[in-house]
Amino acid sequence: MNTLEIKGLTKHYRGFALDGVDLVLPQGCILGLIGENGAGKSTTIKLILNMIRAEEGSVRIFGKENVASMPSVLENVGVVLDEVGFPGCLNTAQIGKIMEDTYRNWEEETYQGYLKQLSVPEKKPFRDFSKGNKMKLGIAVALSHQAKLLILDEPTSGLDPVVRDQVVDILGNFTREESHAVLISSHIVSDLERICDYIAFLHQGKLMLCEEKDVLLEEYGLAHCTAEQLAELPKEAVKGSKSSPYGAEALVRKSLLREERERQGLQISPVTIEELFVYMVKNADQGRKD
């Protein structure tokens, strides 16, 4: 069963349009939404949460249409937005009490456990928190009410590497439960590469791809060759390239290059998700200019 299904999601603003986005997040999986600033990640998340109205398309959470099932569906969804916006005068204990009155399944012990684990200051008012601590508190709240789906918008931004590692581990543990799923957006691609089962690239409001991470890493590679060799490669196999006086490097679909590899002895190295994203975005931008 799919925890989240998005079909043809469209929203226009002046100078930006989210254009017919389709996404599927199966139960027990983590989907990483990768995109540059302004790509439409936060808009997509707001549309999922019905914070803004879609012009076209539909969103189904746990099989129910989001507009009709809000806000009760949020009882089972933990959300961390790019800015955790608790009023500045509140401390963690007061926020805990507010959440106890907000969620039917609030677990104070779990909340306290995450606060300790993530070293969130307990006495300070929220306004005195660093950006990282604000985000950690948001994550603790999102994880403390038996949510089955986590929707996280840039949750690791502002966190130091040690805490980022902790958060990534927490999210990994969360999806050990088969009924759980996570949608996480970020431009810190290395974090997503570690934990995601599915990867979606969003660029200028358009979905470039949505695929299983392992399939992407298996299918794509970086070909190291000369400019002449690059020119001879089949165009449909090359998804982006860059040349320098010392040679050329191209993002290629390995399945479309089997013969070339044998014929030219082409060297293809594994690609990271970050390289994949950068090459694809540059290729898309180049294609648009041409």
Partner 1 sequence: MKGLLRKDFYMMKSYCKGSILLVLIFLGATIVAHENYLFLLYPFLIVSLFPMTLLSYEEQAGWDRYVGAFPYSKAAVVSSKYVVALLSTAAVALIFAAGLLIRGAFVSGERISLETCLGIFLSMMLLGILSPGLLLPFLLRFGVAKGRVVFICVVAVLAAAVGALGSIAGGSGADAFFLTALNPVGVKFWLFCLAGILYYALSWGLAIWLYRKKEL
Q: Does 51 bind partner 1 (CB under 8 A)?
A: yes
Q: Does 80 bind partner 1 (CB under 8 A)?
A: yes
For residues 199 and 210, what is the distance between their CA atoms, to the nearest angstrom? 6
- For 88, counting Cβ atoms within 10 Å of its Cβ (0-12 exposed, 13-18 middle, 19+ buried), the class is exposed
Q: Does 81 bind partner 1 (CB under 8 A)?
A: yes
Among 24, 90, 209, 284, binds partner 1 (CB under 8 A): 90
Among 14, 37, 53, 228, binds partner 1 (CB under 8 A): 53
Q: Does 206 bind partner 1 (CB under 8 A)?
A: no
Q: Residue 264: count other Cβ atoms within 10 Å of its Cβ.
A: 16
- The enclosing H or E element of 152 equals strand 149-153
- In angstroms, give the least distance from the CB of 194 to partner 1: 25
Contact between 47 and 54 under an 8 Å Cβ cutoff? The reply is yes
Of the candidate spans 80-88, 188-196, 242-250, 262-270, the one that interacts with partner 1 by CB under 8 A turns out to be 80-88
Q: List strand residue ranges (DSSP E) for 39-87, in order.
A: 56-61, 64-65, 77-80
Contact between 77 and 150 under an 8 Å Cβ cutoff? The reply is yes
Q: Does 84 bind partner 1 (CB under 8 A)?
A: yes
Of the candidate spans 50-58, 202-210, 215-223, 251-259, the one that interacts with partner 1 by CB under 8 A turns out to be 50-58
Q: Does 129 bind partner 1 (CB under 8 A)?
A: no
Of the candidate spans 67-75, 184-192, 211-219, 221-229, the one that interacts with partner 1 by CB under 8 A turns out to be 67-75
- In angstroms, give the least distance from the CB of 98 to partner 1: 5
Of the candidates 164, 166, 142, the one whose C-alpha atom is nearest the C-alpha of residue 152 is: 142
Among 2, 10, 94, 146, binds partner 1 (CB under 8 A): 94
- Provide the sign of the torsion angle of the four alpha carbons 205, 207, 208, 213, taken in this order: positive
| Chain contacts with partner 1 (rule: CB under 8 A) | 46, 49-53, 70-75, 79-81, 83-90, 94, 97-103, 126-127
